[in-house]
């Protein structure tokens, strides 16, 4: 799996927003410094730092994640 393929695969994971519990693709969520994911409606309510998928995924090598190889 190339880093691009791993990023694509990770982006299509389903995650629940930690605030409203609605399920989204990871690529549509913000990743917060508490380790949770927040949707577009909730990330502004989170008091810490939250970054959108498009802001952290570009420089992250998802091919190193063991869970992507299952």
3-42: contacts with Zn ion (CB under 5 A): 17, 19-20, 39, 41-42
The β-bridge partners of 23 are: 16
Least distance (Å) between residue 30 CB and Zn ion: 9
Length of the chain, in residues: 70
Least distance (Å) between residue 37 CB and Zn ion: 9
Question: Is the CB of 6 or the CB of 50 nearer to Zn ion?
Answer: 50
Q: Is 50 in the site for Zn ion (CB under 5 A)?
A: no
């Amino acid at each position: 799996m190339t880093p691009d393929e791993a990023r694509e695969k990770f982006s299509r994971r389903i995650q629940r927003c930690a605030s409203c519990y609605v399920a989204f693709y990871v690529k549509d969520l913000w990743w917060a410094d508490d380790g949770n994911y927040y949707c577009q409606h909730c990330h502004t309510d989170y008091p810490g730092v939250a970054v959108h998928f498009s802001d952290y995924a570009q420089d992250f090598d998802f091919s190193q994640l063991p869970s992507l190889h299952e």
